[in-house]
Amino acid sequence: MTEELSTTETAEPVLESIVAEELEEEISYHAVEKDGHVTAIWEMKGRKHLRTIDPRSHEGKAILGTHEIDEPAAIAEASGA
C-alpha cells in the first residue's frame, strides 16, 4: 500500500507542471510591418512560430479587426518614455 501512495504523489506534480506549461504558452498574434503596412501575421505559441497568416485573407482581416494596434505614442507612454 505504501508503493501506491508514493506513485500517486509523484504523478500529481508532473501533471500539474504540464498543465502549468500549457497555460503559460497561450497563442498570440504578431503583426509584421514594412513601410507602415502589415505584411504578415505570425501566430505564436510561447516563442514557437506556428504559422504565418496573410493579412489580406479573411482570417487575417478578422484578426486585425479584433485586436488593438499599438501606436508608437501608446508604446512610449506605456514604457514611461
Query: Which residue, among 42, 41, 43, 48, has the nearest Cα to 22 in the 3D structure?
Result: 48
Name the average pLDDT for the chain. Answer: 75
The structure's pTM equals 0.55
pLDDT surpasses 80 at 67: no
Q: pLDDT grade, residue 8 (50/70/90)? A: very low
CB 54 within 8 A of CB 60: yes
Beta bridge partners of 30: 42
- Residues of the chain with pLDDT > 70, as a percent, come to 52
What is the DSSP secondary structure assignment for residue 71, as one 8-state letter? -
**Residue 70 or 53, more confident:** 53
Q: What is the DSSP string of 4-63?
A: HHHHHHHHHHHHHHHHHHHHHS-EEEEEEEETTEEEEEEEEETTEEEEEE-TTSHHHHHH
pLDDT surpasses 50 at 70: yes
Tell me the average pLDDT across 2-14.
52
